[in-house]
């Protein structure tokens, strides 16, 4: 590891918060089936752990959106690199994201999904950087609000590195 990484949120804190989110989601969707849509790649770690704590039937699907490339700042252009495998019409859908930064990517995605006529559409994010928000998005279930620092770990990467860290860390020394 060439970069220095400072722990921002520990593995134990993440585990405890995901368990609580699972309880909240279970209560909200009691008696229903829930379709989770993971935003790849970073959201995969979070969604897998979250799904273990949701006690209603769940199905899973994946989308891949891009607005970053290999840099640390969003390009502002969102593109769908991988679309859903299954239709969501009439389903209770929960989008699972790793982090919400400017809000542009999620605003775009939620608009695209809403046009596919789900029964309900909500958003769960492990992390939120409210100081970076350019486009408002409603986060129904949130793990942690964090300061405007570039973070890695638990699915989040820097140039495809550090996703496998079991905690959320800040990469020191990036411009």
Distance set, CA 172 to CA 9, 36, 91, 131, 149 (Å):
15, 33, 42, 19, 9
Directed axis angle between helix 43-52 and helix 11-28, to 10°?
A: 60
What pLDDT is attached to residue 1? 47
Q: What is the DSSP letter of 3?
A: S
The backbone region for 81, taken as left when phi is positive above 0, alpha when psi lies in -120 to 50, beta otherwise, is alpha
What pLDDT is attached to residue 73? 54
Active site residues: 101
Tokens of 172: 């020191």
- Residue-wise pLDDT tens for the chain (175 aa)? 467 999 999 999 999 999 999 999 999 999 999 999 999 988 999 999 999 999 999 999 999 987 655 555 555 678 888 999 999 999 999 999 999 998 988 999 999 999 999 999 999 999 999 998 999 999 999 999 999 999 999 999 998 899 999 999 998 876 5
Q: Judge contact between 132 and 101, C-beta under 8 A.
A: yes
CA angle at 146 for the pair 16 and 169, rounded to the nearest 5°: 75
Q: What is the pTM of this model?
A: 0.91
């Amino acid at each position: 590891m060439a970069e220095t990484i400072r722990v921002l949120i520990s593995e134990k804190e993440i585990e405890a918060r995901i368990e609580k989110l699972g309880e909240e989601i279970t209560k909200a969707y009691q008696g229903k089936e829930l379709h989770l849509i993971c935003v790849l790649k970073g959201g995969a770690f979070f969604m897998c752990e979250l799904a273990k704590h949701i006690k209603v039937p769940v199905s899973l699907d994946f989308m891949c959106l891009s607005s970053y490339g290999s840099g640390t700042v969003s390009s502002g252009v969102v593109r769908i690199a991988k679309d859903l495998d299954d239709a969501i019409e009439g389903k209770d859908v929960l989008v699972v994201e790793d982090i919400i930064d400017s809000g542009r990517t999620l605003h775009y995605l939620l608009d695209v999904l809403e046009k596919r006529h789900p029964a309900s559409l909500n958003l769960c994010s492990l992390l939120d950087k409210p100081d970076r928000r350019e486009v408002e998005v409603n986060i129904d279930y949130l793990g942690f609000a964090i300061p405007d620092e570039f973070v890695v770990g638990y699915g989040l990467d820097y140039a495809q590195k550090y996703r496998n860290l079991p905690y959320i860390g800040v990469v020191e020394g990036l411009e």
